[in-house]
Chains A and B, each alone.
Chain A
Amino acid sequence: MGKSFFAKSRVVGPVFGACLTVTFAFALLACQKKEVSPTAATEILIGEYGSMSGATATFGQSSHMGSMLAIDSINARGGVLGKKLRIISEDDQGKPEEAITVITKLINKDRVSAILGEFASSNSLAGGPVCQKAGIPMLTPGSTNPKVTEIGNFIFRACFIDPFQGTVMAKFTANSLKLNQVAILRDIKSDYSVGLADYFIKSFTAMGGQIVADESYSAGDKDFSAQLTSLKSKNPEAIFVPGYYTEVGLLVRQARKLGITVPLLGGDGWDSEKLWEIGGEALNGCFFSNHYSVDDPSPVIQGFVAKFKARYDGKVPDAIAALGFDAAMILADAIQRAGNTNPDSIRMALAATQSFPGVTGVISLDIDRNAIKSAVVLEIRDGKNVFKGSIDP
């Protein structure tokens, strides 16, 4: 997700203290490990940076759970190139400036061969240039902002980019819902939302659909009645609202109050437990696109879900964990194909990734180092996200 988490000032005092302690603990751990690891000959070191603490802690933690599961299963099969993989994980507390510090440490002190992370686009945009300059390949599991891979030829991603989701929802609306009159309500302040809306319109009109209205709101707005009233008068068959869950929850409630009964459609910005808490029953029958669905019957996904639950006390993996898992698997596969741990060989192997069978779809990297793969569409029904199908690029 491309959301900026720094829009609001955050609580600093106690959290900062806790972060400091954690960082210290990590630093100590890293030092200790360093002493017992002149085993570089038998191990391949992979760096990982993410928000293990701070405001976006669930992103880093989920993604780390996924990548650790991947690394362990690879090592159980005998590792890569006859060596075991080892992840050195660093906490950037969800802060871009901290991301730069920990990456510099991973590259210069730990001498890692490649780097996994970050999840949030804003942190990847900070860490990416450091990797690019040092010539160490970086693979982000979930930064969907197009700018991330534009940093340079050492930066890759295991997820699709923002515009793709717009195309996905357009295809779904036209082909599965069989609707052809759609209204747009976009968050004008967010690049993510504007990107999704633009690509939705482009694909939808190309398929013969009609956009009956294109209205906007600004992140932080609470009252959407004016825009919704104006949309209602155009009688759309569905409304595409590619925003984040806080606004969408309020918006869908107000839409229902005004007597708008058509489905609302959205992207992965809707993926939060909070959405149902805010929107409630008004959300029934709405659809959004996401990276993967736990309910997908495909054996690859069900196998992953079972393994994940077994390892983490029955915890259900979210899309972030699935992407973390895939990123680590893709990297291991690239190292295997590279035949050595030279960063430049790994870079070339990563770029050549084709039809990799991942949990979040069959993944190929295109010439811009972005993953080309399918997305899933989910329907909200009584607080559950029900799998409706997957859409290929």
Chain B
Amino acid sequence: LSVLLQQIINGVSLGSIYALVALGYTMVYGVLRLINFAHGDIYMLGAYVGYFMARFMRGHVINPVLDTLIVMVTSMLVCALIGFLIERLAYRPVRHASRLTMLIVAIGVSLLIENLSQIVFGADPKFFPQLIPEKAWHFWNVTLNNQQAVVFGVAVALMLLLHFFVYRTRTGKAMRAVAFNLDAARLMGINPGAIIAMTFALGSALAAAGGILVSINIPGIDPLMGVMTGLKAFVAAVLGGIGNIFGAVLGGLILGLAEVMVAGYGSSTYRDAIAFLILIAILLFKPEGILGRGQVEKV
């Protein structure tokens, strides 16, 4: 039983990262009906910004909590800016073009970031400096370490914050309005351009947070780290019902647990296969996802 409990802890800590990244996919899809393929790469950039920031701060450590906070906030701000710029420079010019055009642009942006990063950062993996000194708690033969706890705690806090923002603030209301019907929202005096830009910035900041949290727990980062995580988070978003915030969280946790169970009790070779098998199964049986609303495609 203690093994099962340990695997659940492993799965939840992996799943909360997927959930954070999935939130970005879901938000952008919600307002734009666009799958932002560059999202996984923003997650990677978030980890790199954190890496440089943490190295820069290594000389003057104040205290671990404050340091982590500074690194995280800087990285989130930088990535929010990058997300904003991507929307401005790449997506906005083609917003009224066909959806296929946008999708191709998204793939193009993703490849551009990946390859540019390999030139700028180098293709070899880098080691993320340790921000929080390790500490582990043992009980019933189960190990919970403080880094996993921090990852989970911060992820939950960010999700609650996002929920509050979307459902309790005026801007959040405007965001939901744009997602519901862009043209009607415009008639109500909402500036959709600003809302969309903000959605990108917010989603990118969450991805950056995911990048940092992963690096705290697993300190090896490389320019292609976002590819697989991005895909898995996308699966998580679809699984939960794309466009639905709680769905993304639920999807992330289910995927994380499923992967860990497969690797722990079956064979790790099938680990990624399972993630995509889930995607195919959902598309076949419940295309709108677990919490998604079925909706008629507007033509």
Query: Which residues of A are at the interface with B, using a C-beta cutoff of 8 A?
Result: 8-11, 13, 55, 188, 215-218, 220-223, 225-227, 229-230, 232-233, 246, 249-250, 253-254, 257-259, 274, 277-278
Contact = CB atoms under 8 A, between A and B. Distances in A.
Nearest to B120: A11
A130 B270 CA distance: 39
Given A11-B118, A278-B219, A226 B136 contact: no
Contacts of B143: 257-259
B9 to A, nearest CB: 8
B268 A259 contact: no
B264 interface: yes
Interface hub of B123, B228, B264 (most chain A Cβ within 10 A): B264
Interface string B197-230: 0000000000000000010001110001100100
Given A9-B115, A229-B10, A188 B269 contact: yes
Interface string B13-25: 1100000000000
B127 A227 contact: no
Contact of A257 (B3, B136, B272): B136
A227 B219 contact: no
Nearest to B128: A278
Contact of B265 (A217, A230, A250): A230
B255 to A, nearest CB: 13
Contacts of B118: 8-11
A278 B269 contact: no
Contact of B264 (A10, A11, A229, A254): A229
A218 B268 contact: yes
Interface residues of B, number: 40
Nearest to B227: A220
Contacts of B134: 257
Contacts of A230: 3, 7, 264-265
Contact of A226 (B214, B218, B264): B264
B145 A257 contact: yes
A94 to B, nearest CB: 13
Contacts of A188: 268-269
A253 B259 CA distance: 20
A184 to B, nearest CB: 12
A223 B267 CA distance: 14
A13 B220 contact: no
Nearest to A260: B143
A225 B143 CA distance: 11
7 contacts: A10-B123, A188-B268, A222-B218, A225-B14, A229-B10, A246-B125, A253-B219
